[in-house]
Amino acid sequence: MLELKNVSTQYGQIPILMNVSINLEAGEAVCLLGANGAGKTTLLKTILGMVKPVSGEVVFNGQVISKLPPHQIIKSGIAIVPEREGLFPKLSLENNLLMGAYYEEDKAKIQERVKEVFKIFPWIEKRIHQKAGTLSGGERKMLGVARALLANPQVMLMDEPSLGLAPATVNEVFTVIQNIKKEKNIALLIIEQNAQKALSVVERGYVLQKGSIIVQGTSEELYNDDFVQKSYLCVD
Ligand SMILES: Nc1ncnc2c1ncn2[C@@H]1O[C@H](COP(=O)(O)OP(=O)(O)O)[C@@H](O)[C@H]1O
Ligand SMILES: [Mg+2]
């Protein structure tokens, strides 16, 4: 459904992604593991059209999207939960949430999605008029996920959902991811450094190192991979 075909990107003259090929099928959950600076966020920005490939292409539902502007790509069904949630701290949870439905004109549909989101995140409904700036790190992360759901996407990109969160909160975030997987037919591409957690919710994964995919396989294959164990699972 979503495919990067031999994608290379550069910032100026500096190569970042090198011949990256990955794919994501409808309803599937896939993780992309990689150290700081490996190019993970750049890969997501490339999917969203914010970074243009110097070679290769991004294909979504059979259409090359890598030349489209970001708003058109987002409109076509790809939502993102950015690394730093990108919320508006002075606005209410409600207004932050509704930004996810920016491209939906049908008010009834928006209301329906809001109700569904309240089922997954009851606390958001209770605090809907509170300002987003008053939320804890974990709550902000959840609101970022909720906002992405308001777009009713076919694909949700999540940039390091566990980053900067306490272990118990990381568990809560991954429980939410697990629920979304169960209840919705959304394909998830989860960027993570927490391989233990990521591999527990996805079917497959890739490892990105210095801009290249160096390992790929099922979650089980990645669990048992020497490189993944040494670099991400702290197994000696
Ligand atoms: N806008 C930019 N201009 C120039 N270099 C950048 C820019 N954004 C990121 N980089 C560099 O590209 C590399 C990959 O960054 P990034 O994709 O953010 O990595 P990751 O998300 O895996 O930590 C890093 O060396 C980073 O410093
Ligand atoms: Mg990043």
How far does residue 193's CA lie from ligand 1's centre (Å)?
16
Average pLDDT of the residues in 204-214 = 97
Q: Which two tokens stand for residue 203?
A: 């079917």
At residue 233, the pLDDT reads: 85
Domain containing 58 equals 1-77+196-236
Residue with tokens 């890969």: 43
Q: Is residue 70 part of a domain?
A: yes
pLDDT at 90 over 80: yes
Q: Distance between CA 200 and CA 178 in Å, rounded?
A: 9
Domain-embedded: residue 156: no
The two tokens of residue 202 are 């996805």
Q: Check pocket membership of 40 for ligand 1, CB cut-off 6 A.
A: yes
Residues 19-28 have pLDDT tens digits of: 999 999 999 9
How far apart, in whole angstroms, are the C-alpha atoms of residue 87 and residue 90? Answer: 9
Total tally of structural domains belonging to the chain: 1
CATH (domain of 14): 3.40.50.300
Q: Which of 10, 11, 157, 163 to probe ligand 1 with, by most ligand atoms within 8 A of CB?
A: 11
Q: Is the model's pLDDT at 183 over the cut of 90? A: no
Q: How confident is the model at residue 83 (pLDDT cuts 50, 70, 90)?
A: confident
pLDDT at 235: 65
